[in-house]
A = this chain, B = another copy of it.
Amino acid sequence: MTTLPAQKIMEGKYVLLYLSRRKTYLVKVEKGTTFHTHKGFVKFDDMIGKEYGCRVPSNLGIEFTALEPLLRDYIFKSMRKTQITYPKDTALIVMFSGIGPGSRVVEAGTGTGALTTALAHYVKPEGRIYSYDVREEFLRTAEKNLKRAGLTDFVELKNKDVTIGIDESNMDAVILDLATPWLVVPHAPSALKSSGTLVSFSPTIDQVVKTVEALKENSFVDIETIECLMRRMQTERGKTRPQTLMTGHTGYITSARKAAKSKA
């Protein structure tokens, strides 16, 4: 991510074609071709060689903006074959895990790779993500999504059942986004470094209760569960108000720290 020369849009790279907050398209730039929308088609040749952020008219005269895709664009535009992780949850999972550049992380399950993409983004270039999923077709989707985001080098996708065991050790964090996190918790202490973190994301309360119980049984400390409600504002002088539509629930985030067995 050297930033000094102004970044040009190039063939083979991705752009986020932006029409409005609700209408954005994550597309690959291909010479000589066009991209079709309900507001007319856009020619890629109109943007190649220009700077990201340039304005591009469709054949119907509607103006699009060709933005450089950000992490959250890649996350939100993951091919959805399963429940996606929302950017707000991804952000909190990353924060509570304490990871950063150079961190080594076990993730399970991979799913479509939305969360994997975020984890890889934050630990690159020295860190690594070891991502487990028993479902091969998900791993294939995740690989495509990671490739699109340019992050395959930092991830090892593993077609293995993480409830049986974790191969890695001395990890900075174990991050769980699967149906039965409490079955993975007993394997986490041997995978984690001393004082390492475990973060689990679950939609139901019953999953949370079982996971917290497993964490207590396995000597974890600083166990905490939170939920996060995000609401958009409609901002316009004289008409400002929260938006009517809102996602009321995605999931609970549980975090904990590995500790030595209590002597008490």
Which residues of A approach B to under 8 Å, CB–CB?
A: 1-4, 6-7, 18, 21, 24, 51-55, 57, 63, 65, 67-68, 70-72, 87-88, 90-92, 94-96, 98, 100-104, 118, 121-127, 170-172, 193-197, 203-206, 208-209, 212-213, 221-233, 235-250, 252, 254, 257-264
* A–B complex contacts, Cβ < 8 Å, 30 sampled: A1-B102, A1-B127, A2-B102, A3-B171, A4-B170, A7-B193, A18-B221, A21-B222, A53-B257, A53-B260, A55-B262, A67-B221, A67-B259, A68-B195, A70-B197, A87-B96, A88-B95, A95-B118, A100-B121, A101-B123, A204-B239, A204-B241, A205-B205, A206-B238, A212-B235, A225-B233, A226-B231, A228-B231, A231-B248, A232-B248
CB distance B243 to A7 under 8 Å?
A: no
Residue among A24, A104, A249, A258 with max Cβ neighbours from chain B (10 Å): A249
How distant is the Cα of A8 from the Cα of B87 in the complex, in angstroms? 35
Cα A194 to Cα B68 with chains together (Å): 8
Contact A240 B205 (CB under 8 A): yes
Identity of the chain B residue whose Cβ is nearest the Cβ of A221 in the assembled complex: B65
B248/A245 in contact, CB under 8 A: yes
Chain B nearest Cβ from A6, distance in angstroms: 6
Cα–Cα, bound, A7→B101 (Å): 18
Rounded to whole Å, the gap between the CB of A200 and the closest CB of chain B is 12
* Contact A241 B209, CB 8 Å, known A194-B53, A248-B231, A259-B67: no
Residue ID in chain B nearest A61 by CB atoms: B264
Complexed CA–CA distance, A209 and B209 (Å): 14
- Assess the A249–B249 pair: CB atoms within 8 A: no
- One of B51, B91, B235, B245 near A91 (C-beta < 8 A): B91
CA–CA, A121 and B90, complex, Å: 17
A241–B54 alpha-carbon span in the complex (Å): 36
* A2 to chain B: closest residue by CB: B102
Contact among B91, B98, B102, B235 for A208, CB-based, below 8 A: B235
Q: A231 touching B229 by the CB < 8 A rule? A: yes
Q: A1-B100, A3-B170, A172-B1 are in contact. Are A71 and B52 (CB under 8 A)?
A: no
Assess the B51–A194 pair: CB atoms within 8 A: yes
